[in-house]
């Protein structure tokens, strides 16, 4: 594996560790994030709207230029929403 790939993977893992620590220390983040995602589901540019509102209403900061970890977080939110839809 190249050094740049390893460096990128280490950066992503570090970002996810920080994020997981925030969620574990503030359990309302997950609930609030999912409420926000449900509100914006199906809208044009929903990811941008979700990211902006999560950033403005929780301690999670998603910058305008998303990292791989930010994209992964938004993808996971969509997976949870799809799982919810599958239950009904």
| DSSP states along 24-88 | HH-THHHHHHHHHHHHHTTSTTHHHHHHHHHHHHSS----SS--HHHHHHHHHHHHHHHHHHHH-
pLDDT value, residue 1: 59
- CA 47 to the chain's CA centroid: 9
pLDDT in tens, 4-52: 889 988 988 898 888 888 888 998 999 999 999 999 999 999 999 999 9
Q: What is the pLDDT of residue 87?
A: 74
pLDDT at 67 over 70: yes
Residues 6+ apart with CB under 8 A from 23: 29, 30
- How confident is the model over 60-88, as a mean pLDDT? 90
Q: Where are the domains of the chain?
A: 3-87
Q: Tell me the Cα Rg of the chain.
A: 14
């Amino acid at each position: 594996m190249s050094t740049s790939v390893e460096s990128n993977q280490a950066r992503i893992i570090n970002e996810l560790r920080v994020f997981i620590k925030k969620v574990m220390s503030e359990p309302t983040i997950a609930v609030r994030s999912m409420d926000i995602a449900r509100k914006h589901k199906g809208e044009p540019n929903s990811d941008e709207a979700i990211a902006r509102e999560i950033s403005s209403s929780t301690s999670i900061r998603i910058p305008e230029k998303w990292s791989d970890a930010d994209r992964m977080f938004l993808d996971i939110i969509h997976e949870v929403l799809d799982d919810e839809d599958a239950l009904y």
